[in-house]
Amino acid sequence: MTKNCNFIEKLRGAGLRPTKQRINMCEVLFNREKTFHFTINDLVKMISEKMNQKISLATVYNTVHAFEKKGYLKEISIDSHKSYFDTNTSSHHHFFDEDTNELIDCDESDIDKINIRKNITGKKINSVEVLVRVASDNQNQK
Amino acid sequence: MTKNCNFIEKLRGAGLRPTKQRINMCEVLFNREKTFHFTINDLVKMISEKMNQKISLATVYNTVHAFEKKGYLKEISIDSHKSYFDTNTSSHHHFFDEDTNELIDCDESDIDKINIRKNITGKKINSVEVLVRVASDNQNQK
DNA sequence: CAACAGTTTAGAATTATTATAATGTAGATT
DNA sequence: AATCTACATTATAATAATTCTAAACTGTTG
Ligand SMILES: [Mn+2]
Ligand SMILES: [Mn+2]
Ligand SMILES: [Zn+2]
Ligand SMILES: [Zn+2]
């Protein structure tokens, strides 16, 4: 897909200076075949593993939030203690595996289009997201 | 509905001792016509306003989590910085008004039943929740 | 290359939540 | 009713997550 990526252009296009930290983060986040879900902690680990450069935690937060604002990342909140970011920024739904804490993308065919009958005066719909929580099917009661 | 409520029985039924703090929290949370959504902060304010007793913040957290575990409250997470609790513990969907930060319940007729085609081997579905984010419809672009 | 605005950084500060351990209390036992 | 004990409450400390600060650094423009 995005091979030998020109992340410099991507960053410039968003009005973000292509610093080496941001380019490195782009490599880690976007230079791959498939989109994925991560926590800030995951990302800090991935960056320190994949790069030999040190990076400040504040920069990771800053950059993730900048990317989120520019629409390069989406936040998926599971509960107050579990929040993920998604490099798949298209509108899509999720399964959440409560055993493994894993977020799984749905594709179009997995869930029928949501039909919303209610409308709130003066308000437009910005997004419609379904979260399906799943867990092991062992018939151990509770 | 729950008039002159016997919260003592409700608490005992859950294996929770009916202390005066818990009974007071029950009054604030459940002794009302309609269910509602609140944050921990909202709740602390409501309790200190409605009671003349002081209550420890730790007790509020402990009790909210105990009630959540017993199924008397449900958590609704909007993003990593906004999390609500819901005294409506039935399975239902939500609108979230991004202008006012207000959560609004959907009822059965507002959203068609969600049809899930995907199934994850060995996993059962625990819940299916839709969050519809809405915001002011002023045609101010962005 | 000079100048400047934007960026990074380490560390401090802030906030939200949980842990601690001393004190209090509900409910059982006598 | 007095005593006992496990559970609950409390103030406060500790921890964790995130944001702020202000000094140093760097990409861009001219
Ligand atoms: Mn955010
Ligand atoms: Mn919780
Ligand atoms: Zn996703
Ligand atoms: Zn609700």
What is the residue-wise DSSP string for B48-108? Answer: HHH-SS---HHHHHHHHHHHHHTTS-EEEEEETTEEEEES--SS--EEEETTTTEEEE--G
**Cβ B129 vs Cβ A130: under 8 Å:** yes
Q: In the listed set B41, B73, B105, which residue is the last one of a domain according to the structure? A: B73
Instruction: Tell whether A18 and A65 lie within a shared domain.
Output: yes
**pLDDT tens digits for B80-96?**
889 999 999 999 999 99
Q: Which residues of A touch B97 (CB under 8 A)?
A: 120, 123
Instruction: Tell whether B68 and B20 lie within a shared domain.
Output: yes
Domain that holds residue B104: 91-134
Measured between alpha carbons, how far apart are the two ends of chain B, in Å?
A: 45
Task: Tell me, yes or no, whether A58 lies in a domain.
Answer: yes
Q: Which residues of B touch A77 (CB under 8 A)?
A: 77-80, 83
The Cα-based distances of A15 to A5, A8, A122 in angstroms read: 18, 11, 32
CATH number at residue B56: 1.10.10.10
Residues 26-65 in A having a C-beta less than 7 A from any atom of strand D are 40-41, 57-58, 61, 65
Q: Looking only at Cα atoms, what is the longest distance across chain B? A: 55
Task: Tell me, yes or no, whether B142 lies in a domain.
Answer: no
**pLDDT tens digits for A48-68?**
888 888 899 999 999 999 999
Task: Tell me, yes or no, whether B123 lies in a domain.
Answer: yes
User: Under DSSP, is residue A2 helix (H, G, I), strand (E, B) or coil?
Assistant: coil
Instruction: Tell whether A22 and A53 lie within a shared domain.
Output: yes
Structure tokens at A73: 């990342």
Q: Is B142 on the interface with A (CB under 8 A)?
A: no
Number of domains in chain B: 2
Task: Tell me, yes or no, whether A79 lies in a domain.
Answer: no
Instruction: Tell whether A66 and A100 lie within a shared domain.
Output: no
Instruction: Tell whether B69 and B8 lie within a shared domain.
Output: yes
Distance from CA of B127 to the nearest CA of A (A): 5
**pLDDT tens digits for A113-126?**
999 999 899 999 99
Q: Which residues of A touch B15 (CB under 8 A)?
A: none
Instruction: Tell whether A69 and A10 lie within a shared domain.
Output: yes
Instruction: Tell whether B69 and B10 lie within a shared domain.
Output: yes
pLDDT over 90 for what percent of chain B?
Answer: 79
Instruction: Tell whether B58 and B100 lie within a shared domain.
Output: no
**pLDDT tens digits for B21-37?**
999 999 999 999 999 99
User: Under DSSP, is residue B119 helix (H, G, I), strand (E, B) or coil?
Assistant: coil
Instruction: Tell whether B49 and B12 lie within a shared domain.
Output: yes
CA dist., res. B49 & res. A18, Å (int): 52
Q: Is A71 on the interface with B (CB under 8 A)?
A: no
Task: Tell me, yes or no, whether A141 lies in a domain.
Answer: no
> Model-level pTM?
0.90
